[in-house]
Amino acid sequence: MPMKMGWRWYGEGNDPVTLSDIKQIPGVTSIVWALHNKMPGEIWEIDEIQKVADQIHAYGFDMDVVESVNVHDDIKIGLPTRDQYIENYKQCIRNLSKFGVKVICYNFMPIFDWTRTDLFHPVGDGSTALFYEKDKIKGDYKAMAEYIMSFTEKYNMTFPGWEPERMAKLDELFKAYAPVTKEKLWENLKYFLEALMPTCHECDIKMAIHMDDPPWDIFGLPRLLVDEPSIDRFLKMVDDPYNCLTLCTGSLNANPNNNCAEIIRKHCDRIAFGHVRNIHHFPNGDFSEAAHRDCCGETGIIEVMRAYHDCGFEGYIRPDHGRQLWEEGPGNCRPGYGKYDRALGIQYMLGIWDLLDRLDEEKKG
Ligand code: DNO
Ligand code: MN
């Protein structure tokens, strides 16, 4: 079975890109989806899943990958109430298995999901991209959160992981996480995964943790999945074929010392889902997301694709974020999830892939 190409879709009425748009991009077979109205900890009910399944299947796509079933803070903090939330998570896994879901992408980042300081930063050619300005993340977390949440208010759009209900009680959340050291967070992650593994086996669903983005502590909050040694530790900690990775090159390579292709070669059998994104680094530690073409950034997209190909990767890949192009901007485009640049990125990745297939065939004679 060859690698399968996916596209993250935020759902009808919640995403300016439609399924019929996606259908016209050569090579896409899988819709990466979620119930975006759900709070972390809630059960995803069968009838709610069925509704999205009908929409996705009507276009002939599969719905094998969910991104994300978000993890409740009580599980990350390790409160006694976590057991009930873990039970709910297991019920979500069982319900999703009825629809053939194979992979659940999630993250274990305290309080904040992906973090950027500018969502529409000029790249220099007229397009814009998500941008991280290091110095802005040193100060008060409130200014950063307010900036991200201003999009929610202005454009009536919510971002996964940035639920207004959670962001409204940021001080409380920071207090609750205060005793959670990095080691404690590792323990809580282990507890969570060990509890889920039997259900994952039963349902044939892989849990695929997303890398921390950016891959370093922010605002004093610990972050775990940041480099090769921490990925090694994670996979050994719960050494189970259903305990997998969402290997996000854009997240990992925000630290230029992380060699994504090497990590892919080392752990290919435990990567269930690949996010492919290119990063351009600035000497002062700032970074910008970049077009997928190898020379537009420093992540090494050709080597990343070659690593997956050499390993015979049969999981799912999606173009992670794209830039905002042409008429795309605030108000008509979800930052990072426009229509055009991700479609261009897919064609670039598949171009590399098809050529590697051809070269292999020729070698076989
Ligand atoms: C941002 C994404 C992340 C990712 C979650 C996975 O666009 O890469 O929000 O979906 O961290 O749980
Ligand atoms: Mn990603």
Pocket test for ligand 1, best of 33, 107, 111 (most atoms within 8 A of CB): 107
pLDDT at 334: 96
The answer to pTM > 0.95 is yes
Alpha carbons 58 and 47: distance in angstroms, whole number = 17
Q: Whose CA is nearest to atom 3 of ligand 1?
A: 114
pLDDT tens digits, 239-279: 999 999 999 999 999 999 999 999 999 999 999 999 999 99
Q: How many domains does the chain have?
A: 1
CA-320 nearest atom, ligand 1: 8
Residue 291 Cα to ligand 2 middle (Å): 14
pLDDT at 7: 98
pLDDT tens digits, 290-323: 999 999 999 999 999 999 999 999 999 999 999 9
pLDDT tens digits, 328-337: 999 999 999 9
Which residue in 85, 177, 308, 337 is the catalytic one?
A: 337
The percentage of the chain sitting over the pLDDT mark of 90, rounded to a whole number, equals 96
Which residue in 74, 321, 333, 348 is the catalytic one?
A: 321
Question: CATH number of the domain that 353 lies in?
Answer: 3.20.20.150
- Residue 353 Cβ inside 6 Å of ligand 1? The answer reads no
Residue from 256, 206, 252 nearest 230 by CA:
252
Would you give the DSSP letter of residue 225?
A: -
Contact (CB, 8 A) for 271 and 316: no
- Mean pLDDT, the chain, rounded, equals 97
* Residue 1 binned pLDDT confidence (cut-offs 50, 70, 90): low
| Burial (Cβ within 10 Å: 0-12, 13-18, ≥19) of residue 184 | middle
Q: Is 267 a catalytic residue?
A: no
- Residue 273 Cβ inside 6 Å of ligand 1? The answer reads no
* Whether the complex's predicted ipTM surpasses the cut of 0.90: yes
- Residue 212 Cβ inside 6 Å of ligand 1? The answer reads no
CA-248 nearest atom, ligand 1: 8
pLDDT tens digits, 125-163: 999 999 999 999 988 899 999 999 999 888 888 899 999
The whole domain housing 274 covers 2-362
Q: What is the H or E stretch that residue 131 is in? A: strand 128-132
